[in-house]
Chains A and B, each alone.
Chain A
Amino acid sequence: MKKTLTSAATVRVAFVSLVSLGMLVPMYLLVVNAFKSQQEILANPFSPSFGTATFQYLTDAWNNPDFSILKGYGVTIALVLCVNALAMAVCAPAAYVLARTSKPISRLLLFFFIAGMFIPTQVILVPVIFVLRGIGLMGTLPGLILFMTATTIPFTLFVFFGYIRVLPRSLDEAAAIDGAGRYRTLWRIILPLMRPIVATVFILNSLSVWNDFASPQMILGPGSGVYTVTTGVYAAVGQYSTDYTKVFPTLLLAVIPILVIFVVMQRHIMSGLAAGAVKG
């Protein structure tokens, strides 16, 4: 049985199509203009240039002497992996203990951690610089990793806590009777069950670390010579923002990896986001 579209449905489909088109226009412009010369961009920004398209500008952006985008990918990926590993290594045990201890002190600790979600992290970067200087990690990747880990702790711990709390306590008791200590129980029983929530947290933390600009800009600084994708884009595009043959190709190279990952994993990313938020 085929349903005919009612007029309301037609309007809805048309409206959503229009909005979708509007959302995609900037990306279309980015792709199309990455292959054109400045004159072509200024003359015909909207039309693709099949006849005169050239990879020259993309190659130039790739070989930019100020900023190696390949290194930028490397640094950023290393950052994403380290922050995730560290955040989970400290949050999983803590969330496990807090979820299994119903003493006032554990409620208090949980509240103390959750309060961190309301701190606009970018604005405390100035005092963070002094703290990092005090422990000798200012201007270094370990310092940046530590700070980014700290900013992900409230969310990670909160979501882990919510997840572990629903896992039956009888699992722990069975493990304890078999002689397993807390660490062994966490590692062998709880963590394997946490796979879905670990995936969710990994995806969300990765997105925020990949996209962060303020923290690497302030903590690494231009002096360190280490660029993430965002600080590298800033160095490469910042002062040449009217030279579109630099702007479009550099931006395209910066967004390709994350867009490819998004398109491949979109279902997991979006359902993960929904799950992460609803858990609260």
Chain B
Amino acid sequence: MERTSVSKPRAWRDLGARVSMVVPAVLVYVALLVVPVIYAIYYSFTEYNGFPHRVPEFIGLDNYRTMFGSDDITGTMVVTAVVAVVGAVAVNLAALGLALLLQRTNRFNTFGRVVMFYPHVLSALVVGFLWQAILGPQGVVNTMLEKVGTDSLPFLSDPDWALWSMILVIVWSLFGVQLILYLAGLQAVPADLLEAARIDGASPWQTFRAVTWPSLASTVTVAVITSGISLLKTYDVVVSLTGSGPAGSTKTLAYSILAVSFPQRDIGLASAQAVLLIVAAAVLAITVLVLRRRAEDDAESIG
């Protein structure tokens, strides 16, 4: 048996083994995620209709000018931002609130958690169709309203209502995930601190502010970033719930890319919109991380 220090050829063989273990992941990841992002950036500066024999023509920032100059697209940006911001706030408030209520483990609470989470296992497309059958002009709710003699409500047929209806549906289907994250985070809140706060006579709100909330910091970061990014790419639910209408009031950027610019063979514009979304996601993630870092620093300087 060779028990001496590792010999040269053996070290080389080990290096080869290690490289060969990393390469497949790098290849798939680079080929189908990184290269497309680079392509998106490149196409965003070109005019290109996607036909294989045509060469993309470099046009500088024209696509971005078109994008920010078009009322239609700036409208979709506003819709996307509203969905992402309002949705993320609502999802996280609902999830944190319910997590505090369902924190103790007993049968009733376990049942509650399962019920809150189940929409997540349904695909967003199905969720949209289902809610369309409930909120649509001929849907369940309006049929009931007519039966009791009240006017029907324009959940999906009025531009103002439709956006809020869609956000409601998204929150319904999404907050269960964040609820589970917050429940996991609450488990990590130090029990002795809670006990100490109780003995000191702190009110539930004071205890939450001083003990629970600071210990939840990393959970909040994860929950806000993940919900924010998944809201930024809202597409499936638009397809099935509203079809981006009425009057484009629920048209998100992702819908505009996949269902408008791409079918119109405007690859340059679709790519510019994609780049905008990628930048928005990065900014969101970095902002949340920086804010958290600063909050931690503050907490340390106080402590």
Contact = CB atoms under 8 A, between A and B. Distances in A.
Determine if chain A interacts with chain B: yes
A228 to B, nearest CB: 10
Given A12-B101, A123-B257, A124-B37, A273 B180 contact: yes
Interface in B126-154: 126, 129-134, 136, 138, 140, 143-144
Interface in A130-174: 130-133, 135, 146-147, 149-151, 153-154, 157
Contact of B233 (A45, A120, A211, A273): A120
B184 interface: yes
A62 interface: no
A131 B131 CA distance: 36
A150 B132 CA distance: 33
A280 B218 CA distance: 9
A213 B124 contact: yes
A146 B27 CA distance: 11
Interface residues of B, number: 90
A64 interface: no
Main secondary structure, interface of B, reads helix
A23 B26 contact: no
A234 B285 CA distance: 32
Given A181-B14, A266-B114, A153 B277 contact: no
Contact of A210 (B114, B118, B123, B188): B123
A119 to B, nearest CB: 6
Contacts of A125: 257-258
B130 A26 contact: yes
B299 interface: no
Contacts of A15: 101
Interface in B90-121: 98, 101-102, 108-109, 111-121
Nearest to A146: B32
Contacts of B33: 116, 119, 121, 124, 150-151, 153-154
A81 B213 CA distance: 40
Nearest to B21: A93
B25 A126 contact: no
B170 interface: no
Contact of B222 (A86, A96, A241, A280): A280
B116 A128 contact: no
A149 B28 contact: yes
A52 B220 CA distance: 50
B215 to A, nearest CB: 13
B32 A131 contact: yes
A27 B35 CA distance: 41
Contacts of A259: 118, 121-122
Most buried by A among B118, B143, B226: B118
Contact of B18 (A97, A214, A217): A97
B273 interface: yes
Interface residues of A, number: 96
Interface string B220-236: 00100010010011011
Interface in B57-111: 98, 101-102, 108-109, 111
A53 interface: no
A273 B132 contact: no
Contacts of B274: 123-124, 126-127
Nearest to A272: B180
A214 B129 contact: no
Given A242-B138, A258-B121, A127 B143 contact: no
A16 B101 contact: yes
Counting from the closest, the 6 A-B pairs by CB-CB distance are A93-B21, A274-B184, A150-B32, A211-B123, A127-B39, A94-B25
Interface of A: 12-13, 15-16, 19-20, 23-24, 26-27, 29-30, 33, 42-43, 45-46, 86, 89-91, 93-94, 96-98, 101, 109, 113, 116, 118-128, 130-133, 135, 146-147, 149-151, 153-154, 157, 177, 179, 181-183, 186, 207, 210-214, 217-218, 229-230, 233-234, 237-238, 241-242, 244, 247-248, 251, 254-255, 258-259, 261-263, 266, 269-270, 273-275, 277-278, 280
Given A26-B172, A46-B144, A124-B40, 12 more contacts: A45-B144, A123-B258, A127-B43, A213-B125, A214-B254, A214-B258, A233-B123, A237-B129, A241-B133, A247-B129, A270-B117, A270-B180
